């Protein structure tokens, strides 16, 4: 039997017809695809693309043009210059000379690949991250990292950064994440695979103790607070193979345990305990075949700015006991933000050499503290005034049997830690870099003499979220007076004063062009240093693009 429509249905249809007829022209789009629909569909069709949930690619491209009178001259590390200004005959031998201005262009490409197939049902993800660095015009048709910018190029230059698997037992990376393999290791408590680097450098210990890549196991969780545990082998060697025909590998390794509590939204307080154990007798390499790692290395300090210890074949351990906090770093809960940390180093290395004229042991006891305050004064979160201080205990003679300054993983890496939050260009290395990471102070120990610094910066969005102007002012001095030079010249504690300015233009989302300039007046710390013959100055132009 045929159904008839109810009177209310007929009435509703009539009202709808009247409303549609009375709607002003242009208020709703016309029915149907329209005359340009076919062209639009061809441009935006994504049927052939892989599912976003399975395959993701993030591209990071960076290029920097540099003009400066700070010139590095690396020995053995082709295309790579890092370490403190005026270190002597070791390391990059970075000098300052107005008669030797440097002009060069660097380029970096980092692709990050993630694959999480549907059949694992959210339990795991595979990541691979590589790096291609080079200087324009330097080297071609060969095999070497940080090379391949020369005529013809054709260079094999792929550096492995990360190759790891992430396991998510709860299928929620924010709650529990287990990383296995080569990964970013930072002294922040947050998982670097799901946390922005901009948050990493503002939390925890701000990469002053370790910040690089390594292979190991890390677990990140958020149950009853925020916590992290990791085991990272730093270096391995066969120290007894030649003398005792013992082929066994001996390791230097780091185990970390961190816990933080969310006091209120945006405010976090944390504690840390890390243990470093070294059984390599100082025979492992930070740069394979060229620069040894560990406190016995005679060449590492010139590249990383650490202290040089006077000991042969040391084995030992270092304990890191720290506390940190951060508050409102995204200005979600007001106009004020702050962060800081304290870290105590306690440890000892003992010589394993059968006969030695150097120290039999080195006792370590060092302290560092950091505090930063920020005020969001303007309309955008980029309108910020900041003031940061750092104190690191010092040792007037790091070559004796007692070391009284900070001990970082710059003792094991090239580099092993980088401080990215200082906002300076010369006093501390400019953080936007490829192969040249030089500055007056490149390790917070300041070659063992300690550090006292005050750093101020002010930023203003001239055009909101598009054009930003930043000015910076920094002063630094050593905590103790360094020893006199061999020719009797007495040195002072003042490292220098820097003034800088930066202008950045956000062309599109995560695509930025920058102009950066800095000038530094060196202090009495460099008295008698022939490698610092002028006041350091530098100018950079940068182009950065993160593509998702």
pLDDT tens for residues 418-444?
998 999 999 999 999 998 999 999 999
Beta bridge partner(s), residue 519: 499, 537
Confirm whether 326 is domain-assigned: yes
| Cα 322 from Cα 345, distance rounded (Å) | 9
**What's the pLDDT score for residue 244?**
87
Mean pLDDT of the 30-47 span: 67
| Cα 370 from Cα 230, distance rounded (Å) | 24
| Cβ neighbours of 336 (radius 10 Å) | 12
| Domain housing 83 | 75-105+171-547
pLDDT at 384 over 90: yes
pLDDT at 216 over 90: yes
Confirm whether 67 is domain-assigned: no
Beta bridge partner(s), residue 257: 229, 273
Q: Report the greatest alpha carbon distance in the chain.
A: 115
Confirm whether 116 is domain-assigned: no
Confirm whether 10 is domain-assigned: no
Residue corresponding to tokens 């049997």? 401
| Mean predicted lDDT score pLDDT of the chain | 90
What is the per-residue pLDDT across 40-54, written as a single tens digit (0 to 9) for each?
Answer: 777 777 776 655 668
| Cβ neighbours of 274 (radius 10 Å) | 23
Confirm whether 136 is domain-assigned: no
Confirm whether 32 is domain-assigned: no
Give one DSSP letter per residue of 379-407, joined into a string: SSTT-EEEEEEEEE---S-TTSSEE-S--
pLDDT at 379 over 60: yes
**What's the pLDDT score for residue 11?**
42
The count of structural domains within the chain is 1
* 46 three-state secondary structure: coil
What is the per-residue pLDDT across 95-118, written as a single tens digit (0 to 9) for each?
Answer: 999 998 889 999 999 999 999 988
**What's the pLDDT score for residue 181?**
97
Q: At 33, is the pLDDT very low, low, confident or very high (cuts 50, 70, 90)? A: low
| Cα 505 from Cα 499, distance rounded (Å) | 21
* 160 three-state secondary structure: strand
| Cα 278 from Cα 399, distance rounded (Å) | 19
CA-CA-CA-CA torsion sign (291, 349, 278, 340): negative
| Cα 276 from Cα 318, distance rounded (Å) | 5
| Cβ neighbours of 188 (radius 10 Å) | 26
pLDDT at 25 over 70: no
Cα–Cα distances in angstroms (integers) from residue 130 to residues 164, 168, 334, 432, 544, in the given order: 12, 23, 39, 18, 17
Give the distance from CA 425 to its chain's centroid: 15
Give the distance from CA 129 to its chain's centroid: 15
Mean pLDDT of the 371-396 span: 97
CA-CA-CA-CA torsion sign (210, 216, 221, 224): negative
Confirm whether 121 is domain-assigned: no
Lowest mean pLDDT among 136-150, 320-334, 438-452: 136-150
pLDDT at 221 over 80: yes
Beta bridge partner(s), residue 387: 373, 456
**What's the pLDDT score for residue 128?**
95
User: Is the full-model pTM beyond 0.85?
Assistant: yes
Could you tell me which of 205, 271, 247, 242 has the C-alpha nearest to residue 418? 205
509: CATH? 2.40.160
**What's the pLDDT score for residue 427?**
97
Could you tell me which of 164, 165, 162, 142 has the C-alpha nearest to residue 152? 142
pLDDT at 245 over 60: yes
Cα–Cα distances in angstroms (integers) from residue 228 to residues 11, 252, 429, in the given order: 65, 20, 29
| Cα 435 from Cα 92, distance rounded (Å) | 12
Q: How many residues does the chain have?
A: 548
pLDDT at 201 over 60: yes
| Cα 494 from Cα 477, distance rounded (Å) | 4
**What's the pLDDT score for residue 500?**
98
C-beta of residue 308 within 8 angstroms of C-beta of residue 403: no
Confirm whether 36 is domain-assigned: no
Q: At 310, is the pLDDT very low, low, confident or very high (cuts 50, 70, 90)? A: very high
Angle at 409 (CA atoms; ends 405, 415), nearest 5 degrees = 115
Angle at 262 (CA atoms; ends 256, 265), nearest 5 degrees = 140
The answer for residues whose C-beta is within 8 angstroms of residue 94's C-beta and 6 or more apart is: 70, 71, 72, 73, 81, 83, 84, 85, 86, 87, 438, 531
């Amino acid at each position: 039997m045929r159904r008839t429509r109810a009177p209310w249905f007929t009435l509703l249809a009539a009202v709808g017809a009247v409303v549609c007829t009375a709607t002003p022209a242009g208020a709703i789009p016309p029915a149907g695809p329209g005359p340009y629909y076919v062209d639009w569909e061809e441009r935006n069709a994504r049927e052939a693309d892989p599912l976003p949930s399975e395959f993701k690619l993030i591209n990071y491209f960076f290029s920097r043009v540099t003009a400066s009178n700070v010139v590095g001259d690396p020995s053995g590390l082709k295309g790579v210059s890092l370490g403190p200004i005026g270190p002597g005959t070791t390391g990059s031998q970075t000098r300052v000379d107005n008669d030797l201005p440097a002009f060069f262009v660097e380029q970096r490409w980092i692709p990050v690949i993630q694959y999480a197939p549907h059949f694992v049902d959210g339990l795991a993800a595979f990541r691979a991250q590589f790096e291609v660095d080079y200087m324009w015009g330097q080297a071609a048709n060969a095999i070497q990292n940080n090379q391949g910018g020369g005529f013809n190029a054709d260079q094999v230059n792929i550096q492995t950064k990360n190759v790891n698997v992430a396991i998510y037992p709860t299928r929620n990376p924010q709650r529990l994440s287990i990383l296995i393999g080569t990964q970013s290791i930072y002294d922040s408590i947050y998982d670097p695979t799901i946390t922005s680097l901009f948050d990493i450098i503002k939390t925890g210990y701000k990469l002053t103790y370790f910040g690089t890549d390594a292979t190991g196991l890390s677990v990140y969780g958020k149950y009853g607070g925020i916590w992290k545990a990791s085991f990272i082998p730093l270096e391995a060697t066969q120290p007894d193979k030649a003398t005792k025909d013992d082929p066994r590998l001996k390791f230097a390794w780091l185990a970390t345990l961190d816990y933080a509590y969310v006091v209120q939204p945006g405010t976090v307080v944390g504690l840390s305990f890390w243990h470093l154990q070294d059984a390599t007798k100082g025979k492992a390499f930070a740069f394979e075949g060229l620069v040894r790692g560990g406190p016995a290395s005679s060449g590492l300090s010139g590249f990383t700015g650490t202290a040089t210890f006077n000991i042969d074949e040391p084995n030992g351990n270092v304990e890191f006991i720290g506390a940190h906090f951060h508050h409102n770093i995204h200005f979600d809960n007001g106009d004020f933000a702050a962060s800081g940390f304290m870290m105590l180093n306690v440890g000892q290395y003992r010589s394993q050499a059968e006969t030695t004229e150097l120290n039999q042991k080195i006792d370590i006891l060092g302290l560092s503290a950091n505090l930063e305050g920020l005020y969001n004064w303007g309309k955008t979160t980029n309108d910020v005034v900041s003031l940061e201080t750092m104190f690191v205990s010092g040792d007037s003679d790091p070559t004796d049997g007692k070391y009284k300054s900070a001990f970082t993983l710059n003792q094991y890496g090239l580099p092993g830690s980088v401080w990215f939050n200082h906002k300076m260009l010369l006093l501390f290395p400019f953080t936007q870099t490829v192969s040249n990471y030089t500055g007056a102070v490149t390790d917070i120990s300041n070659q063992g003499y300690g550090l006292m610094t005050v750093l101020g910066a002010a930023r203003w969005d001239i055009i909101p979220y598009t054009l930003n102007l930043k000015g910076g002012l920094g002063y630094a001095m050593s905590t103790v007076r360094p020893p006199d030079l061999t020719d009797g010249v007495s040195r002072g504690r003042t490292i220098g004063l820097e003034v800088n300015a930066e202008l950045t233009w956000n062309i599109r989302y995560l695509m930025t062009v920058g102009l950066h300039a800095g000038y530094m007046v060196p202090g009495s710390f460099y008295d008698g240093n022939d490698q610092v013959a002028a006041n350091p100055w530098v100018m950079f132009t940068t182009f950065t693009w993160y593509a998702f």
